[in-house]
Amino acid sequence: MAVHWPAKAAALGRCDQDGVEKLRRIRFDGRQIEVAENIDQWHGADYRYFKVRGSDDNLYMLRHNETRADWQLTMYEQAKHSGDC
């Protein structure tokens, strides 16, 4: 999948029973991906980061500037399937 960097993104989330935000869906480059797994999240100096696995089995890392309500896709890793080199 070709991604135009830096990729502007959007995300839809919800809080779980412990009050932790979990992403449900991400959008970038005209694509919409359902989030299958929230792997990790952490705070940087000016941003909040989310690492998720999409329903397409690929990994995505997003950066959220909470002050500006701005999202960016900062990392994409295509899933390796059996038979891939």
Give residue 80's pLDDT band: very low, low, confident or very high (50, 70, 90). confident
Confidence at residue 4, expressed as pLDDT on a 0 to 100 scale: 61
Encoded amino acid at 85, one letter: C
The two structure tokens encoding residue 63: 């950066």
| Integer Cα distance of 55 and 34 in angstroms | 5
Exposure on the CB side of residue 77, measured as CA atoms within 13 A: 8
Exposure on the CB side of residue 59, measured as CA atoms within 13 A: 9
Domain limits at 40?
7-77
Query: What is the tens place of the pLDDT at every residue in 10-40?
Result: 898 888 888 878 999 999 988 999 999 999 9
Domain-embedded: residue 35: yes
* Model pTM score: 0.83
Domain-embedded: residue 61: yes
The two structure tokens encoding residue 57: 């089995």
Domain count of the chain? 1
Domain-embedded: residue 82: no
Does the pLDDT at position 2 exceed 80? no
Domain-embedded: residue 34: yes
Give residue 83's pLDDT band: very low, low, confident or very high (50, 70, 90). low
